[in-house]
Amino acid sequence: MNQQQTLTALFKNTFGHQPTHFFQAPGRVNLIGEHTDYNDGFVLPCAIDYQAMIAASPREDNKVVDTAHSYDGQVSEFELTLPITHSEEAFWSNYVRGVASVMLEKGHKLHGVNIAIIGNVPQGAGLSSSACLEVVTGLTLSRMAGLDISLKELALIGQKAENEFVGCNCGIMDQMVSACGKEGHAMLLDCRSLDTRLVSIPEGAAVVIINSNVKRGLVDSEYNTRRQQCEAAARHFGVKALRDVTVEQLEAERKNLDEMAYRRARHVITENNRTEEAAEALARGDLKTMGILMAESHASMKDDFEITVPAIDGIVEIVKSVIGEEGGVRMTGGGFGGCVVALIPETLTDTVKAAVESRYSEYAKNLNADIYVCRASQGASAL
């Protein structure tokens, strides 16, 4: 059975009838622009062809009853009245509850609905399994209530739900590209203005995601530490965010900054510049320049931001040895494990897979890497 058929079977088993509507929202991978989002900078993600999907039908009452395939069809329910409380037993439902809560706080009138959820975005790999669930939930709740809320607004609702209800202080990138991505394109997103520009990915290029399967143990505490270091550096320059500091200003102030603050700021400032350059390179189909920029990004994350681990550096080395100048590879995501992203000619995907499978154990004993060959896909939609 494909994902939609499995979802339909779960819905029918749970609610005793066929769903009336289907909705989807994709996961995402960030091609370049790491830890720039909360510094008001630029990111260049694309939606991928792995997604969260919801089957739904209207209810006569004021309840949301939801079930999730990944959690053995566990069922949860809540009333569409404020305040909506957290579920201790069905923690996955807190994403649904958070989105509903934010929508109600904004004055949107929601209707009771039955919801079944399925997804094939790998969890815990940094590919935004939570953001796509928030976006598809917002799309479902709004459309089932006859509300025409824009995809950009649904992205902001999802982010607010994750920040304030779930309790993770994420930027806007994940929800925005899940909501508004376009097939065959990356999205240059200005995280300050929320302006977006679609950038065509060259024909014949594959987006390859390699999950190191290194558990990201430090990511929450270290992420918050990096964020504080960046905010402190911005205060030193008297600006709202590091987005507003140039490389020249940074170098002129180097003697007045401690070495760590300098290196953290240097990563963010140079990464913003690289991300804008990468959008231009991608738009003209220049994978060689893209590769140089992705290599510089990885080095900056390793040396200045200190968020890579040996297994991740190893995968980057393996892929680089195969592709040479025909594309790029770098760590993607928050760091301390997780995934590597490569943008490479489709003709090299089998060689890259074989190289990673044969050599990864040199860098990470007792671990296998999961490899996903993806294409840039459409953002959130009704099916």
Alpha carbons 69 and 118: distance in angstroms, whole number: 5
CA atoms within 13 A on the CB side of 200: 7
End-to-end CA distance of the chain: 17
Give me the helices (H) in the chain, please. 3-15, 93-105, 129-144, 151-160, 173-180, 219-237, 247-252, 259-283, 287-303, 310-323, 349-359
The span from the CA of 130 to the CA of 189, in Å, is 19
Residues 6+ away with beta carbon under 8 Å from 107: none
Catalytic residue among 174, 258, 303, 370: 174
Nearest residue to 138 via CA among 165, 104, 187, 168: 104
| Beta-bridge partners for 187 | 198
Beta bridge mates, 24: 53, 381
- State yes or no: is 174 an active-site residue: yes
Q: How far is CA 334 from CA 201, 218, 227, in A?
A: 24, 10, 11
Q: Which amino acids are annotated catalytic?
A: 174
